[in-house]
Amino acid sequence: MIKRNFKMDHMSAMDKKNMMNQQNSVSEGSITVSRKVTHQRGRKANKRAGKVGMLIGTCAMALGLTVAAPSAGAQKLEQGVRSEHVLQLQEQLSNLGYFDAGMTGYYGTVTKSAVREFQQAQGLSADGVAGPKTLNRLNHKVKAEGNTLRQLAKLIHGEARGESLEGQVAVGAVVLNRVHSGEFPSSIPKVIFQKGQFTAVDDGQFNQKPTATSYKAARKALNGADPTHGALYYYNPKIATSLWSKSRPTLLTIGQHDFTR
């Protein structure tokens, strides 16, 4: 009886163990299946979210919008700030001839002075702080006239860098007078690069970096300043060899240049 009961007890223990293993297996299998289903659902949800994100991004690009991107025009840059946005500001001011120093990315006194000068020229509050209005105006001016202004400043620098501000403005005015004369090409770049017209273009001096004074002269000429009173030509009588240039009546002399029509 004891032997039989021991066997039965032993079998019961085995049965119980098998039953527990089966239950655990089923339970673990259920957990595994549950985890797989949850993981698959998560992956599907991520894919759907990714597709939605891509769709939003595509629509934003089609509409010309920017998603979660900071705008330089929405920032306020002032003295003491050091950032990539300050470096961009310095480059823009340099392209318009207001900044003639090293590109450091630091908003110091030189940058503040350049910003103030730009603000004064644009009729903005001249506090030397680059707020949204100043930055937006700066972006517009660079896009509208940055390249043309730079080309005119380079020509002035190459042709008349040793002259006074008035003498440099006069050279820029000759370019503008030609544009409006009907006798020359009708755009500033075409007048500048017309073959054989300017020594600085022919001999490479045009490629030198213009100074702040040359930029200032270019801006004055673009804004209508004309100390030559309509001259279309100029030459240096001390070094000129062209008899044609010397035969034209001189309107006035500014510095080393005689201006003629």
Q: What is the pLDDT of residues 189-201, one digit of tens each?
A: 999 999 999 999 9
pLDDT at 147: 81
pLDDT in tens, 57-76: 444 334 333 332 333 444 79
pLDDT at 144: 67
pLDDT at 202: 96
pLDDT at 172: 97
**What integer is the mean pLDDT of 140-161?**
88
Confidence of residue 3 (pLDDT cuts 50, 70, 90): very low
Give the mean pLDDT of the chain: 79
Using CA atoms, how far apart are residues 247 and 178, in angstroms rounded to an integer? Answer: 19
Residue 30 reports pLDDT greater than 80 = no
Residue 54 reports pLDDT greater than 80 = no
Residue 50 reports pLDDT greater than 80 = no
